[in-house]
Amino acid sequence: MINDDELKKLQKLSKLSFQPEELKTFSAKLAGVLDMIDEMQELDISGVKPLRSVLDGSQRFREDKIENSDISEDLFKNTPEEIAEFAKEIKCFVVPKVIE
């Protein structure tokens, strides 16, 4: 069981405040948690492999394919005709000046 001094120190360190009646409840719950930890420490886990993740350990990889990713023709389809050739040549969008 945790004593009052340890409980007050824990309360100060955690920056929590409890009413006196809440301290009794908190103390009992904390004692239950500490008892459970003591039980777990007594378990023999020497033959248990470490758990890295609770998820399925297999990776799903896709086949690595080289594909043509040049979509510049599609991007410049909606460019106005008067600047389309220049835009395609420099591979940039030409926009009117909006800030002076």
Provide the pLDDT for residue 100.
82
Quote the Cα angle for 37-38-41, to 5°. 85
C-alpha 51/C-alpha 69 separation (Å) is 41
pLDDT means per 10 residues, the chain with 100 residues, are: 84 89 88 94 90 74 84 80 82 82
Provide the pLDDT for residue 33.
94
Provide the pLDDT for residue 41.
94
C-alpha 49/C-alpha 45 separation (Å) is 8
Residue 37 belongs to a domain with what CATH number?
A: 1.10.20
Does some domain include residue 48?
A: no
When divided into structural domains, the chain yields a total of 1
Does some domain include residue 83?
A: no
For residue 54, what is the DSSP state?
Answer: S
Provide the pLDDT for residue 57.
66
Domain that holds residue 17: 4-41
Provide the pLDDT for residue 59.
74
Does some domain include residue 60?
A: no
